[in-house]
C-alpha cells in the first residue's frame, strides 16, 4: 500500500498527497557480479539509509561543504564525473534502481570518490523528510523519465507541487539544473520553473529560456547517441531567490 505523508512545511502544497503517483517504476534488472561486490565493499560507507527524519549533512560527510542533491542518477555516469570534478562539494544522490546503485558504488570504488553518498529511495520522500530547509547548494535532475504517453504525463517528476517544496530546500542563490532530450518535457519544465515565484531563470529570452550546457555536465553515452540521431537536449538552470532563514536564537548565522 502506498501511504500519503503529511506536509512538512506550512503553506507549501502537499507533495505527499500525490504520492500514489510515482515518477518511477521499480524495474527488475540484473545486478552484475562487480556491482554486487561494490554493494558489499562500498555499501556500508557510501549508502545512507532512508530515515523519515532530518539528517545532519555535516555529520554525514564528516565535513561542512556545499551539498548538491541529484535525483535519479541512473547508472551514475554523470554523477561520478561531476563528483570527481568538484571534490570540494558533497553529492547526495538518490536512485531506486538497484543495478544503478551498484554501478555508482563501483565507480566510487574505481575512482576513489569520497564525496558521494547514495540513498536508494524515492527522492521525493528523501527531500521531504531527510533534508532540512535551505540545506542545499544545488539540485541536479538529468534526463528525468519523460513518460511520453499522454496518459502517463502525470507521472513526470517535475510538477508545480514538487518544485514548490524542492525550492524550500535550496539556499538563496542556490541552483536547480534540469536537462532533458524530450522537447514537450523541456517545455513543461520551463513552464513549471518559470511559474515558481522563488525561482529565477539564468537564461535570457534570446535562448527561449534554455541555458547553455554547463561545463560540468558531461555528454553521456546515451546523450551522444541522441546527438548522432539528430535529437536535441535542453538544459534549464534556475536559481533560488530570497533571503536566508533567520538563525535560531543563540546560534550564529549560517
Ligand atoms: C531516464 S533515467 C536518467 C538517468 C540519469 N540521470 C541519466 O542521465 O542517464 C531516470 C532515472 O530516475 C530514476 N527516478 C525516477 N524517479 C525517481 C525518484 N522519485 N527517486 C529516485 N529516482 C528516481 C529512475 O529510476 C531512473 O533511473
pLDDT per residue over 62-75, tens digit each? 999 999 999 999 99
- Catalytic annotation on 145? yes
| Segment 143-170 mean pLDDT | 95
| Segment 177-189 mean pLDDT | 96
> What is the rounded distance in angstroms from the CA atom of residue 144 to the CA atom of residue 157?
7
Question: Counting Cβ atoms within 10 Å, is residue 168 exposed (0-12), middle (13-18) or buried (19+)?
Answer: buried
CATH number, domain 31-240, options 3.40.50.150, 3.30.70.2740, 3.90.76.10, 2.40.340.10 = 3.40.50.150
Higher-confidence position of 70 and 225: 70
Q: Which of 14, 122, 145, 181 is catalytic?
A: 145
113 contacts: CB under 8 Å, gap ≥ 6: 80, 83, 84, 107
124 lines ligand 1 (CB under 6 A): yes
Cell output for 2: 502506498
Percent of the chain with pLDDT over 90: 76
| Segment 248-254 mean pLDDT | 44
Angle formed at CA 36 by CA 30 and CA 42, multiple of 5 degrees: 140
- Stretch among 72-81, 92-101, 239-248 having the lowest mean pLDDT: 239-248
Cell output for 182: 524530450
Write down the domain spans for the chain: 31-240
Cell output for 42: 562500498
Q: 182: left (phi > 0), else alpha (psi -120 to 50), else beta? A: beta
Q: What are phi and psi of 6, to 5 degrees?
A: -65, 155
91 lines ligand 1 (CB under 6 A): no
pLDDT, residue 225, reads: 85
Q: Give yes or no for a contact between 201 and 193, defined as CB atoms under 8 angstroms apart.
A: yes
Q: Whose CA is nearest to atom 11 of ligand 1?
A: 72
Pocket test for ligand 1, best of 91, 96, 156 (most atoms within 8 A of CB): 96
How much distance in Å is there from the Cα of 143 to the middle of ligand 1? 7
Average pLDDT, the chain: 89
- Check: pTM over 0.85? Answer yes or no: yes
pLDDT, residue 3, reads: 34
pLDDT, residue 227, reads: 86
Higher-confidence position of 195 and 2: 195
Please name which of 82, 142, 139 lies closest in space to residue 113, comparing C-alpha atoms. Answer: 82
Please name which of 207, 72, 201, 191 lies closest in space to residue 143, comparing C-alpha atoms. Answer: 72
Amino acid at each position: 500500500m502506498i501511504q500519503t505523508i503529511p506536509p512538512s512545511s506550512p503553506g507549501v502544497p502537499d507533495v505527499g498527497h500525490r504520492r500514489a503517483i510515482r515518477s518511477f517504476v521499480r524495474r527488475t534488472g540484473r545486478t552484475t557480479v562487480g556491482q554486487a561486490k561494490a554493494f558489499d565493499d562500498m555499501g556500508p560507507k557510501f549508502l545512507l539509509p532512508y530515515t523519515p527524519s532530518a539528517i545532519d549533512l555535516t555529520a554525514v560527510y564528516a565535513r561542512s561543504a556545499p551539498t548538491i542533491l541529484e535525483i535519479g542518477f541512473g547508472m551514475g555516469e554523470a554523477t561520478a564525473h561531476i563528483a570527481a570534478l568538484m571534490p570540494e562539494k558533497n553529492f547526495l544522490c538518490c536512485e531506486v534502481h538497484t543495478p544503478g546503485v551498484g554501478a555508482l558504488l563501483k565507480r566510487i570504488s574505481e575512482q576513489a570518490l569520497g564525496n558521494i553518498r547514495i540513498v536508494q529511495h524515492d527522492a521525493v520522500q528523501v527531500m521531504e523528510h531527510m533534508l532540512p530547509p535551505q540545506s542545499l547548494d544545488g539540485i541536479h535532475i538529468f534526463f528525468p523519465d519523460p513518460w511520453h504517453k499522454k496518459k502517463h504525463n502525470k507521472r513526470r517528476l517535475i510538477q508545480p507541487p514538487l518544485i514548490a517544496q524542492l525550492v524550500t530546500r535550496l539556499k538563496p542563490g542556490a541552483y536547480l539544473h534540469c536537462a532533458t532530450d524530450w522537447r514537450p518535457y523541456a517545455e513543461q519544465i520551463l513552464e513549471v520553473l518559470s511559474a515558481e515565484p522563488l525561482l529565477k531563470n539564468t537564461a535570457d529570452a534570446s535562448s527561449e529560456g534554455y541555458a547553455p550546457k554547463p561545463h560540468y555536465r558531461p555528454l553521456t553515452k546515451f546523450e551522444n547517441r541522441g546527438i548522432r540521431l539528430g535529437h536535441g537536449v535542453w538544459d534549464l538552470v534556475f536559481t533560488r531567490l530570497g533571503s536566508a532563514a533567520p538563525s535560531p536564537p543563540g546560534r550564529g548565522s549560517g
